Structure 1
Amino acid sequence: MMKTHHSHSYPLLSALLFFFFVTWSSSGSLLSIWLHQEVGLKAGDTGIIFAVLSVSALFAQICYGFIQDKLGLRKHLLWYLTTMLILSGPAYLLFGHLLKINILLGSVFGGIFIGLTFNGGIGVLESYTERVARQSQFEFGKARMWGSLGWAVATFFAGLLFNIDPKLNFAVASCSGLVFLLLLARLRVSSAPHAMQEAVAGGKVTLQDALRLLTLPRFWALVFFVVGTCVYGVYDQQFPVYFSSQFATPQEGNAMYGYL
């Protein structure tokens, strides 16, 4: 019984991670280049967008984590993320249109959408996969590896598609979201064993439990560790624009960044 469950959940969750990252990479891996070359934003304006993105992702991760703890292995949040993934293509087009009307308005819309969908949403899928992995006895890292592969595959072609028409990347993102929908519909997670139920749902996580984390020194140590490892993101925001500018033509630079 356990082997059957394992054989069913592992490939589906691996595929979900793969296509989540395909959607994310197709729409976001060349975000800075798109904002610079297509929308015409300066580096300072791009910084506003990433600031809003980070703040919205911060609050999303807190809320998503609390909700998913309540849901256990139910897929409600995953269905919500599926809708956001499918809408990512049109949302990016609207994002670009709003930026041309008003930079602040566009920054708020784009930052909130990207933060809620990708930077905040990935934690939902990863934590769900990790819980099923413990129940089904497969290694989380093996499933998560497919997410990294999905990003690599999509980014490899993102630069080429960008040179043809940036909108093609957004179309790929939404199509990948549709594949995510079909895979999620097939995912069936059986009732957890008694020990797993205690770990996932038995504790009845409350707001007081979540706030109690703030009193734990180890929690703050982990927070500062994560902050330190994420500082590179500030550098990563502007690097694509710089890297692509080092080549003879913008088109060559875009393609080479995708390969990189």
Structure 2
Amino acid sequence: MKKKSLFKNPFYRFDSLNILLFFTAWGIWWSFFQIWLTNTLHFSGEQVGTIYSFNSAITLILMFVYGAIQDRLRLKRHLLIFCSVMEMLLGPFFTWLYAPLLHSSFYLGTFLGSLYLSFAFLAASPTFEAVTERISRRYRFEYGQARSWGSFGYAVSALLAGFLFTISPNLVFWLSSFIALLLFLLLVFVHPEKNQKMIDLYENKIENAKESSTASPKEIVGVFKMKALWQIIIYIIFSTPLGDLRDYIGYSHTFLVISGITLIAGIYANFILKKDNVDVNGQPLSKD
């Protein structure tokens, strides 16, 4: 197939807008989440650290569940649509349920909030990215070029949130719900894959054949037996400092501890984790 203008590819346009809207809806509130917890709800650093720990733990588990489900769905959008519906509830959830519940019953609010945030955004993020990467291979465009629109949306939304947050923190949550509504409409009503002419023009037949095979439940469970997986998890734990240190030792000492943890994580990664060109089952990173 001859090289064509990127924006003429309807699959690239769809997925770029898809990932742009997702990261815009996420970034407009997530970039100020910690400030909202401390300045608006007046929680301590230890409490904020607890909230983030719950978020991380539930997200880590749910990512595997989402991954297994999406592997079964292949390029179908059912899971993405579910996530977008959950994202639309952000405004009501934060305004009328999450904030009051955190004050009245902190650990219950933390747990329920972590469930919601993981289902709607935190575990959804790699799912949206994985689907975009799959579509990029199947319909002949560079994943990185589509993914960059997500970074652009996150940056612009974070900038906009800085102005809205000073007016009312709730504005960023409700605006996120509105952007999620646009994402939902896109996923439900825009279907370039139904245009056979565009499929014939852009589809990579080899990648299409690969999509016919999916992982079995036994293979999915087998992932947890991989030594390399637990090595990476240990690396993540090393590189993630405890959020409640600030309450006890202050900012300056906390940054020193973070630097030490990062140094240890870097040494661990250098000697334990495999190099970029070792056991690569896909396309290795170019060293040109």
Following superposition of structure 1 onto structure 2, how do residues 1-260 of structure 1 map, counting pairs within 5 Å?
Answer: 7-93=9-95, 94-184=97-187, 185-189=189-193, 195-202=206-213, 204-224=214-234, 231=240
Any unmatched runs of 5+ in structure 2? 252-288
- Structure 2 distance, partners of 1:12, 1:200, is 20
| 1:52 and 1:107 in contact (8 A); partners too | yes
What's the secondary structure of 2:120's corresponding residue? helix
Alignment TM-score, normalising by the size of structure 2: 0.74
- Structure 1 distance, partners of 2:162, 2:228, is 42
Q: Which has the higher helix share?
A: 1
**Count of aligned pairs:** 236
- Structure 1 distance, partners of 2:192, 2:63, is 25
Which moves more between the two structures, 114-123 or 125-134?
Answer: 114-123
Q: 2:272 — aligned with what?
A: none
- Structure 1 distance, partners of 2:231, 2:209, is 27
The alpha carbon displacement at 1:153 in A equals 0.4
| 1:14 and 1:144 in contact (8 A); partners too | yes
Q: Which amino acid aligns with 1:206?
A: S
- Structure 2 distance, partners of 1:221, 1:44, is 27
Q: Which amino acid aligns with 2:215?
A: V
Provide Cα deviations, 1:185-226, integer angstroms capped at 9, x if missing partner. Answer: 213335776533442232x32111112234444444555555
Q: Residues 222 and 37 (structure 1 numbering): CA distance in 2 closer, same or farther, change over 3 Å?
A: closer
The alpha carbon displacement at 1:109 in A equals 1.5
Quick check: which has more Rg, 1 or 2? 2
**CA root-mean-square deviation:** 2.7
- Structure 1 distance, partners of 2:233, 2:46, is 27
The alpha carbon displacement at 1:33 in A equals 0.7
Q: Which has the higher contact order (CA 8 A, sep 6+)?
A: 1
Any unmatched runs of 5+ in structure 1? 243-260
Provide Cα deviations, 1:83-112, integer angstroms capped at 9, x if missing partner. Answer: 011111112222112112111121111111
Q: Which amino acid aligns with 1:205?
A: A
- Structure 2 distance, partners of 1:137, 1:221, is 34
- Structure 2 distance, partners of 1:103, 1:75, is 35
Provide Cα deviations, 1:209-244, integer angstroms capped at 9, x if missing partner. Answer: 11223444444455555556x627x56x98xxx7xx
The alpha carbon displacement at 1:9 in A equals 1.2
Q: Residues 215 and 150 (structure 1 numbering): CA distance in 2 closer, same or farther, change over 3 Å?
A: same
The alpha carbon displacement at 1:173 in A equals 0.3
Alignment TM-score, normalising by the size of structure 1: 0.81
| 1:86 and 1:178 in contact (8 A); partners too | yes
What is the percentage of aligned positions where both structures have the same residue?
A: 29
Which moves more between the two structures, 204-213 or 81-90?
Answer: 204-213
- Structure 1 distance, partners of 2:62, 2:170, is 27
Q: Residues 45 and 225 (structure 1 numbering): CA distance in 2 closer, same or farther, change over 3 Å?
A: closer
